[in-house]
Amino acid sequence: MVLSLPVRPEVALISDDLYSVLTDNDTLGYVHKVGPVFVALCGADLHHAVEVGQSLSLDRAVEMVRSL
């Protein structure tokens, strides 16, 4: 039997208001802080990433990116 554990993403600060959501091998997406709101974006390329949700919490925005 093989157990598959969920991959825990890492969050890296790219600029004052932009975070990347990473695994060991891939960029899952980004979180952009706009005022008090964290905008979750899915996609490896920032210029083509698609918004998948908004949250007042960075952790919740990262989970939105990770869950897709």
pTM: 0.86
| Residue-range domain boundaries for the chain | 10-66
DSSP-derived letter for residue 46 is G
pLDDT at 42: 97
Give how far Cα 21 sits from Cα of 13, 14, 39, 48, 54, Å. 9, 10, 12, 15, 15
pLDDT at 3: 46
DSSP-derived letter for residue 25 is S
Between CA 54 and CA 37 the distance in angstroms is 7
pLDDT at 1: 52
**pLDDT, tens only, 43-65:** 999 999 999 999 999 999 999 99
**Largest alpha-carbon pair distance within the chain?**
47
Evaluate whether 54 touches 66 at the Cβ level (below 8 Å): no
**pLDDT, tens only, 7-43:** 567 999 999 999 999 988 899 999 999 999 999 999 9
